[in-house]
Structure 1
Amino acid sequence: MLSKRPYLVPAFYDWIVDQGHVPHLVVNAGADGVMVPTAFVEDGHIQLNIGPNAVRDFHMDRSGISFEARFAGQPERIYVPMHAIRAIVDRDTGQGATFPDEPGETFPDAEGASAPMHPEKPTAKKGAHLRAVPDNGADQAIDETTTNEKTGRSDRSPDDDDPDDPPPGGGGKGGPSLRVIK
């Protein structure tokens, strides 16, 4: 039977982060494929802060979790396969889920097949990349909206309004800004 961990761990992670709290993993450090600093292992387990402010290059899929974190000031590359996760908890409230081993439990790989993933090949998400563009006053040339001089209202329709559009003037204090261009 497929394990519940690959489905529940991301759900609990999102729930904890959405509350503004800090998610922690309890990991079986002796499990196959686990890459953690052994100096911080206690009684065969390690507790990892996986909050967005504590890690870099965080990636979670059905096969495991990988990220970079600092331990005693030294950066370490971490990989935790799903089968090694014993619990995910909210550091602030203690709420979360524990995962005992179940007989016949199988773990899907990143593509959905039931197979373990090899830790030396953690995959990175491919997605959109953002680039800072200096604000050189070109907003007027790019912005297609015009303002009616009598009413001071824009000729943009309500459908054109995007709550994610940045305010005019760029990133403030002369810094770079990001802008949604339709």
Structure 2
Amino acid sequence: MQETSTKPYFMRAIYEWCTDNGYTPYMAVKVGGAAQVPMEFVRNGEIVLNISFGATSSLKMDNEAVTFKARFGGVSRDISVPVENVMAVYASENGQGMAFEVDLTESISEPGVTSAPPEQKSKPSLGLAAVSSATTGSLTEGIQQNSEKEQKKSEKPSLKIIK
């Protein structure tokens, strides 16, 4: 029997932590494979989705995929993201959450989008706990900037980085 990944459990836990604390949960996604997202909002092969209760309808986070309906430009869209495409789940207000390793080298659905080579790994930013140390640069830079601002404001400890 194959062991179930811990990733979907961590994703649900961070989502619940965000909502319990009044934060807005965001999910960063590497577009490729079976991910169904509005391509007009994809940047550098990635998209960040607001997965809060107020922004989604019929949100379902199971062990295989995250599915929901959301409005983009006033048009309702069905969103489906396989768990393996999720790069991070975090609170938009402070950047605290968790980053995950994503390796979609075999299947990319957007033309011209390529995955970062395995040797091009960066460290997760402060304020994010990580299941793996591999994240993409643009996501890490944006979250790191937000986290550094929060660190300067409060100087309180946040989630620890897991290696």
Cα distance between partner residues in 2 of 1:19 and 1:12: 11
Cα distance between partner residues in 2 of 1:67 and 1:7: 18
Code of the residue aligned with 1:80 in structure 2: it is: V
What is the CA deviation profile of residues 67-95 of structure 1, one whole-angstrom value per residue up to 9, with x for unaligned ones? Answer: 00011111100001100000001001110
State the identity %.
36
Match of 1:7 in 2: 9
Which of structure 1's runs of 4+ aligned residues deviate more than 3 A?
Answer: none
Structure 2 contact 8–61 (Cα < 8 Å) conserved: no
More strand by share: 2
Structure 2, unpaired ranges of 5+: 104-163
Code of the residue aligned with 1:42 in structure 2: it is: R
- The two structures, once aligned, show a CA RMSD in angstroms of 1.3
Structure 1, unpaired ranges of 5+: 103-182
Match of 2:140 in 1: none
Cα distance between partner residues in 2 of 1:68 and 1:15: 22
Match of 1:95 in 2: 96
Structure 1 residue 101 displacement after superposition? 3.5
Q: Is the partner of 2:12 in helix, strand or coil?
A: helix
What is the CA deviation profile of residues 28-65 of structure 1, one whole-angstrom value per residue up to 9, with x for unaligned ones? Answer: 112x1100000000000000000000001111111111
In our comparison, the structure showing a higher alpha carbon Rg is: 1
- Residue 45 (1) aligns with residue 49 (2): no
Equivalent residues, number? 101
Per the normalisation by structure 2, the TM-score is 0.59
